[in-house]
Amino acid sequence: MERVQKLFSLGSYCSRREAEKLIEAGRVKVNDKIIKLGHKARFNDKFEVDNKEIKLKFTKKYYLLNKPKGYICSNKDKQNKRVVDLIKDESYLFTVGRLDVNTTGLIIITNDGEFSQMLERPGSGISKTYVVKVNKIISAKMKEKLEKGIKLESGYTTMPLQFIEVMRKDKKKNESVVKMVLQEGKKNQIKEMFKMIGVEVINLTRIKIGNLKLHDAKLGEYRKITSFEVEEMKKIIKKQAKNKV
C-alpha cells in the first residue's frame, strides 16, 4: 500500500503536491469515502476526485543521467542533494543501484521496480564499465592481480574482470588512468580492490552499463532510455540466465 498522493503521481494523474492539495480540500474519495492526508491505498482501489471516478495509469519511465559529485542515490535523505531531484519529473523515481557520493557517471533512474530488480539481482550478468584515476603507476603485475580477482578485507574475492586497460600513465604526477569492466558491483568494490594492492582512487567515473552509454552528456544532464534499449537490456539478462543453467 502507498499514500494516495504517491499513487496519483505514479498513476500519472497529477503531481504529489497537487494531490496533497486535493486531499486537504476534501475533494478525494477512496472506495466511496473522503480521505485525509496520509491515507494509504492500492492501485486497484476506487478513486474519485470531485465525485468523478478516475483511473490511474502507471507509465513506466526510464532515464539515464550523468551523476555529478556531491549527489546521493538515496530517496530518504532529503537533507542532502539527491540524484532523483535532477530529473524534471514529478513521478516517484529511484536509482537502479548506487554510486558513491563522490563517484560520477552513468546511473539509471526509473519507477519500474521489476526492471530495477532484474538489473540489481546477483548474477544478472550486466557489465559495468569504469574509468579510474589512481595515485600510482599501475604495473603489469598490479594489472594482472586486478584482472584475476582481488581478495578484499571482508574476505570476499572479486570475480575476474571482463576487461582492463591502463589507458594513461603520468610519471611526473605518479598517476594512472585505468579502464575496467566488471560484472558485479559490491559496495565501494573498485576502491577496495585498488586499496588491496596499495593504490588509492583519486577519481571514479562509470561510463557504461550493459548496452547503455553516456556519450557526450555533461554532468547533471540526462535523457530518456528508449523502449528498444530497455528490451535489449532485458535480453542480455535473460541470455546470461540461460547460460548459467
Distances (CA, A) of 42 to 1, 3, 33: 5, 9, 14
Res 245: pLDDT = 55
CATH label of the domain that carries residue 72:
3.30.70.580
Same domain for 145 and 33: no
Same domain for 204 and 217: no
What pTM, to 2 d.p., does this model score? 0.79
Domain that residue 9 falls in: 2-54
Q: In what order do the strands lie in the sheet with 33-34?
A: 33-34, 28-30, 47-49, 52-54
Q: Which of 50, 100, 112, 170 is catalytic?
A: 100
8 Å CB contact between 107 and 185: no
CATH label of the domain that carries residue 19:
3.10.290.10
Same domain for 89 and 70: yes
Same domain for 116 and 177: no
**Angle CA 32–44–92, to nearest 5:** 105
Same domain for 230 and 117: yes
Q: Is 45 a catalytic residue?
A: no
pLDDT tens for residues 43-61?
A: 889 999 999 999 888 888 9
Helix (H) or strand (E) holding 204: strand 201-209
pLDDT tens for residues 120-162?
A: 887 787 899 999 999 999 999 999 999 999 999 999 999 999 9
Q: State phi, psi for 122 to the nearest 5 degrees.
A: -55, 135
